[in-house]
Amino acid sequence: MENSKDNMRINWFPGHMAKAQRMMREHVKLVDVVIELVDARIPLSSANPVIADIIENKPRVVALNKADLAETAWTERWIETFRSQGLQAVAIDSMTGKGTKSLISKVEQGASAAIAKLVDKGVRPRAVRAMILGIPNVGKSSLINRLLGSATVRTADKPGVTRGKQWIKVSNNLELLDTPGVLWPKIEDPSVALRLAITGAINDEVYDLEQVMAKFLTMLREDYSERLSERYKLTLPLPEDSEELLRLIGSKRGCLRSGGVVDCDKARKIILNEFRGGKLGQFTLDRQLPDRE
């Protein structure tokens, strides 16, 4: 990341991601339908732009995961937007299983034409084969675990844990090809980079936390000041300076060093973790819908 406060660039593309892209291109021909998992809080920012090129003409179902953390009205708008683009879309919560039955139904619908072609050729009907694609930490492994009903797939709250290809039998009618989470080589839009960092799609070790949280606090103050006020017992109006606001929150949360000095780094991590854990409420950070043609 550059040090400029106006030109933030976050690029994180480890070697295993390049390898994973090559693997996905090789194996996409094996599946009938693709499930693209995005973060419901950032449905556009978390959509990997290279996926359309990788899957070519395969049917695609967009699953907006972590819908419990996103604003319901905005999630509904995004679902309608995806559908207007000719894509199947559904909101899900992989932790509770909400929406997964609808997802399976849409996947089976998407694969119906491919299965019908096999039958027409005299091939005995088989299970639908689907590939799950998505950026790191969007919840692919959690979704598979929910579908299976057991913690079969290794998961972690850290991007890049799932590394290799796995075929997973969900039922007699559905088999999934799990793939590692993959970002694209260069994130051009600073606002996209910011949202990916905030939601945990990019490893926390590769960006400047101070810079990211300064921008995030400005965003929260402008759009969600009442949330901050309620959570951290602050008096409105909030300070316009993000550093002053940070110190105020840190003081309220007891992030103090000797002499009463606020531990700003500790305060930043608390705010970020509470946002990611839903303790600040529901957020949709992608609030600009693409133009409809």
pLDDT along the chain (293 residues), means of 10: 47 58 78 94 92 85 97 97 95 94 94 89 89 86 82 44 62 80 71 93 90 96 95 96 97 94 97 96 92 56
Domain 208-277 has CATH 3.40.309.10: no
pLDDT value of residue 176: 87
What the block records as the tokens of 43 is 């449905």
Domain coordinates in residue numbering, the chain: 14-177, 208-277
CA of 214: how far to CAs of 26, 38, 262, in Å? 42, 25, 16
Residues that constitute the known binding site for GTP: 65-68, 137-142, 181
pLDDT value of residue 184: 61
Class of domain 14-177: alpha beta
Nearest to 130 by CA among 95, 150, 151, 104: 104
Nearest to 190 by CA among 7, 4, 3: 7
pLDDT value of residue 213: 97
* Cα 55 from Cα 221, distance rounded (Å): 40
Residues that constitute the known binding site: 65-68, 137-142, 181
What is the number of helices (H) and of strands (E) in the chain?
A: 10, 6
pLDDT value of residue 37: 94
pLDDT value of residue 168: 81
How many other C-beta atoms can be found within 10 angstroms of the C-beta atom of residue 83?
13
